[in-house]
């Protein structure tokens, strides 16, 4: 039987289990343990952790020479499935106990880890600083190979005197569930500018000082972190969601609309309007589509072979398609196998576009209708059928 997954919380409050920080961690504990996780709260005030003296031995040799409780505590953090850093606000920052623990974590701060486990930041103040302290804790949580899923903050002066206690408890329940799900599903959050800045700065610092920062430089090389930002975050860019020609076609259409006095950049009302000079007489989308071959411009279709399928909903519900080949356009009822473009639209939207009440470009950009297939072909409808 496998061991249960474990969340480790580092509590920087000197009040041990009596303060508001512990009460907030207890709110998280209830929900984390309910999901079958173990929850360990470590009180830094009950351990001996010596101040970092900035000797940089950890940077050069790879580990700190000081003998105290730090290594055993940091090992628990690194081995945990989820990490929580918690501190009340003392004079606009974390407590001395938490700062000492984090300062001693410098050796890990220079050596990014690929575990990417979820973490939380917890902070409480009398009314000033808890959000900035939480942001700080969310940032340094990366030191232990974690990424933040959120922050639990509160305002309270005396023990348990939380402002909006029910809201704090609800927030704790939500964050606890997020933490557990992130572990169970192997979830990651998107890379951020903070990840990018850290990789750029630390990578440069270590590389430029490789003679002295030997251990750090060897780590970066061994982990392949100099191969690029993607290697660091373990995430890759998705392929383009649009054909490269979409932007050109979109700009060309806007330029044409401006020539016709339809679209003027900076004038939203004009941008929503389409050319109303040729309003069709048809009163339904079915009639409109059936008549489209009559307005077909064969000169715009030289060498073009394409099928447009329309799936109309709302006031009218039907499927039809228009086939273009050999510079001719024909209308057909029903669906076709493997159409080049599928346009899913409410009837009233397509009629509004046809009548010049709204711009087809604006309707598409605001997702009034949806498209599947080659978007550049969608852009050609206006020139193929004169509107």
Alpha-carbon span 299 to 286, nearest angstrom:
25
In a 13 Å sphere around the CA of 381, the CA atoms on its Cβ side amount to 25
- Lowest mean pLDDT, pick from 39-43, 160-164, 353-357: 353-357
Helix axes 193-208, 214-223, angle to 10 degrees: 130
Q: What is the CATH number of domain 245-385?
A: 3.30.1050.10
Phi, psi of 11 (to 5 degrees): -100, 115
pLDDT digits (tens, 9 = 90+) for 229-285: 999 998 888 887 665 656 676 677 677 667 766 555 544 444 444 444 455 667 899
Q: Which two structure tokens, joined as six digits, stand for 269?
A: 């009302």
Q: What is the pLDDT of residues 298-328, one digit of tens each?
A: 988 888 999 999 999 999 999 999 999 999 9
**Closest residue by Cα to residue 102 from 51, 62, 147:** 51
**pLDDT value, residue 373:** 87
Q: Which among 147, 53, 151, 71 is positioned nearest to 108, based on CA atoms?
A: 71
CATH homologous superfamily of 6-189 = Flavodoxin domain (3.40.50.360)
Alpha-carbon radius of gyration of the chain: 30
The whole-number average pLDDT for the span 155-161 is 93
C-alpha to C-alpha distance for 208 and 217, rounded to whole angstroms: 9
Please indicate whether residue 13 or residue 270 has the higher confidence score (pLDDT): 13
Q: Look at residues 116, 128, 63, 55 and name the one whose alpha carbon lies nearest to residue 91.
A: 128
Q: Which residues contact 333 (CB under 8 A, 6 or more apart)?
A: 318, 319, 320
Tens-place pLDDT, residues 97-116: 999 999 999 989 899 888 89
Average pLDDT over the chain, rounded to an integer: 88
Over the stretch 52-93, which tens digit does the pLDDT of each residue have?
999 989 888 888 999 999 999 999 999 999 999 999 999 999
CA distance 197 to 134: 19
Query: Please, are residues 189 and 149 in contact by the beta-carbon 8 Å criterion?
Result: yes
Indicate if the pLDDT at residue 346 is higher than 90.
yes
Instruction: List the chain domain ranges.
Output: 6-189, 190-237, 245-385
Instruction: Please tell me the predicted confidence (pLDDT) of residue 358.
Output: 81
Task: Name, in order, each residue with C-beta under 8 angstroms of 152's C-beta and a sequence gap of 6 or more.
Answer: 24, 27, 28, 120, 121, 122, 123, 134, 168, 171, 172, 175
- For residues 186 and 274, what is the distance between their CA atoms, to the nearest angstrom? 48
The C-alpha atoms of residue 340 and residue 168 are separated, in whole angstroms, by 52
Indicate the pTM of the whole model: 0.71
């Amino acid at each position: 039987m496998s061991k249960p997954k474990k969340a480790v919380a580092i509590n920087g409050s000197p009040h041990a289990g009596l303060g508001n920080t512990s009460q907030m961690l207890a709110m998280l504990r209830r929900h984390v343990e309910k999901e079958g996780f173990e929850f360990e709260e470590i009180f830094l005030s009950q351990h001996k952790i010596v101040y970092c003296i900035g000797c940089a031995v950890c940077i050069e040799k790879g580990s700190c020479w000081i003998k105290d409780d730090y290594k055993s505590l940091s090992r628990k953090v690194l081995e945990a499935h989820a990490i929580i850093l918690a501190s009340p606000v003392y004079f606009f920052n974390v407590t001395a106990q938490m700062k000492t623990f984090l300062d001693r974590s410098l050796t890990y701060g220079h050596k990014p880890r690929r575990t990417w486990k979820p973490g939380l930041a917890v902070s409480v103040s009398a009314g000033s600083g808890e959000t900035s302290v939480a942001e700080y804790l969310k940032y340094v949580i990366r030191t232990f190979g974690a990424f933040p899923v959120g922050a639990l903050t509160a305002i309270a002066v005396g023990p348990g005197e939380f402002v909006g206690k029910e809201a704090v408890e609800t927030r704790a329940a939500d964050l606890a569930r997020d933490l557990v799900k992130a572990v169970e599903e192997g979830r990651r959050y998107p890379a951020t500018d903070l990840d990018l800045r850290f990789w750029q700065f630390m990578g440069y610092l270590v590389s430029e000082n490789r003679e002295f920062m030997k251990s750090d430089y060897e780590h970066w090389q061994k982990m392949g972190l100099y191969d690029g930002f993607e290697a660091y975050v373990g995430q890759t860019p998705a392929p383009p969601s649009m054909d490269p020609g979409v932007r050109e076609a979109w700009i060309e259409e806007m330029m044409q609309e401006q020539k016709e006095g339809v679209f003027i950049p900076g004038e939203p009302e004009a941008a929503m309007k389409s050319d109303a000079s040729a309003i069709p007489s048809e009163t339904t989308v079915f009639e409109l589509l059936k008549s489209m071959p009559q307005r077909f411009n064969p000169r715009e279709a030289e060498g073009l072979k394409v099928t447009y399928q329309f799936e109309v909903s709302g006031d009218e519900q039907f499927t039809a398609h228009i086939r273009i080949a050999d510079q001719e356009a024909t209308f057909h009822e029903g669906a076709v196998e493997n159409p080049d473009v599928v346009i899913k639209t409410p009837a009233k939207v397509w009629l509004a576009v046809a009548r010049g009440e709204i711009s087809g470009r604006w309707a598409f950009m605001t997702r009034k209708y949806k498209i599947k297939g080659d978007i550049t072909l969608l852009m050609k409808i206006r020139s193929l059928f004169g509107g």
